[in-house]
């Protein structure tokens, strides 16, 4: 099964393992991602926009979300100038029993409106049972296990692009891509606002492209 390419924008620091100290830019990126995920931020974060430094507080959360979504829309335009179907990766509580719009669905809708080229959002994937958080709840990140818990409620219209808020191990995106591919739906790209990083980087906001395998792991005996 061909790889899926994941495009991400913001570095989301998690330095517990390497023991690195947090810099101010790390705290600011954490607040930016928390805001994007719909969480309340304390204090403010500073961003340079159009070469002007600005402090953003909780009251400015919509401005921050719009800033991120505009950048993601531009990233998508670099892949396709034509209309696409954004399929949001369901949040952990987006189950087949819960038909309420979920957060990544609403964020994807904003991105499609910015694209303004006929792109649409199809929230066709939901969990059969609440997925939980691999980081908080210790639930599996294994794409095979996650895929088995996914329900494909309808077939999206090609071309399909997956969307999620934060990329950590890639398990959820890979599970969704596998579910779509196994139903005959072509999906080659996914976009996320942020990616978890395990050590400090010189530039915390930059476009990063990474390939993820969708194949089942195979035990290699060749070296024996």
3 contacts 213 by C-beta, under 8 angstroms: yes
Measured from the Cβ of residue 115, the count of other Cβ atoms closer than 10 Å reads 22
Topology (CATH) of 4-21+68-212: Rossmann fold (3.40.50)
Pairwise CA distance, residues 87 & 125, whole Å: 8
User: pTM for the complete prediction?
Assistant: 0.92
Let me know if 118 is exposed, middle or buried by CB neighbors in 10 A (0-12, 13-18, 19+). exposed
159 contacts 80 by C-beta, under 8 angstroms: yes
Q: Where is 86: in which H helix or E strand? A: strand 85-88
Phi, psi of 203 (to 5 degrees): -120, 120
107 contacts 65 by C-beta, under 8 angstroms: yes
- Report the pLDDT value the prediction gives residue 3, as an integer from 0 to 100: 93
- Report the pLDDT value the prediction gives residue 163, as an integer from 0 to 100: 99
- Report the pLDDT value the prediction gives residue 158, as an integer from 0 to 100: 87
Pairwise CA distance, residues 156 & 120, whole Å: 10
- Report the pLDDT value the prediction gives residue 218, as an integer from 0 to 100: 80
Per-residue pLDDT of the chain (224 residues; tens, 9 = 90+): 789 999 999 999 999 888 899 999 999 999 999 999 999 999 999 999 999 999 999 999 999 999 999 999 999 999 999 999 999 999 999 999 999 999 999 999 999 999 999 999 999 999 999 986 655 555 578 999 999 999 999 999 989 999 999 999 999 999 999 999 999 999 999 999 999 999 999 999 999 999 999 988 788 888 66
Handedness of CA 143, 71, 40, 126 (dihedral sign): negative
- Report the pLDDT value the prediction gives residue 140, as an integer from 0 to 100: 73
| DSSP-based three-state secondary structure for 32 | helix
Pairwise CA distance, residues 121 & 84, whole Å: 9
Report the alpha-carbon angle 192-157-2, nearest 5.
60
Question: Nearest Cα to 178, choosing from 132, 117, 125?
Answer: 125
**Structure token digits, residue 190:** 């996914």
Pairwise CA distance, residues 86 & 157, whole Å: 9
Largest CA distance in the chain: 61
- Report the pLDDT value the prediction gives residue 133, as an integer from 0 to 100: 61
């Amino acid at each position: 099964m061909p790889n899926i390419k994941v495009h991400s924008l913001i570095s989301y620091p998690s330095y517990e393992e390497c023991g690195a100290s947090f810099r101010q830019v790390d705290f600011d990126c954490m607040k930016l991602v928390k805001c994007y995920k719909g969480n309340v931020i304390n204090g403010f974060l500073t961003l340079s926009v159009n070469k002007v430094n600005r402090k953003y507080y909780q009251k400015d959360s919509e401005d921050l979300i719009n800033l991120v979504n505009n950048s993601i829309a531009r990233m998508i335009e670099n892949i396709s100038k034509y209309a696409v179907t954004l399929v949001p990766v369901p949040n952990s509580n987006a189950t087949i029993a819960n038909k309420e719009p979920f957060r990544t669905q609403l964020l994807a809708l904003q991105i499609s409106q910015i694209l303004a080229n006929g792109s649409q959002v199809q929230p066709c994937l939901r969990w059969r049972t609440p997925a939980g958080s691999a980081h908080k709840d210790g639930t599996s990140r294994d794409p095979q296990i996650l895929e088995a818990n996914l329900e494909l409620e309808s077939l999206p219209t090609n071309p399909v692009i997956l969307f999620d808020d934060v990329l950590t191990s890639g398990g959820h995106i890979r599970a969704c891509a596998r579910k779509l591919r196994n139903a005959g739906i072509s999906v080659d790209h996914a976009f996320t606002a942020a990616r978890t990083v395990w050590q400090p980087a010189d530039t915390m906001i930059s476009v990063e492209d990474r390939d993820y395998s969708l194949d089942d792991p195979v035990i290699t005996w060749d070296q024996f």
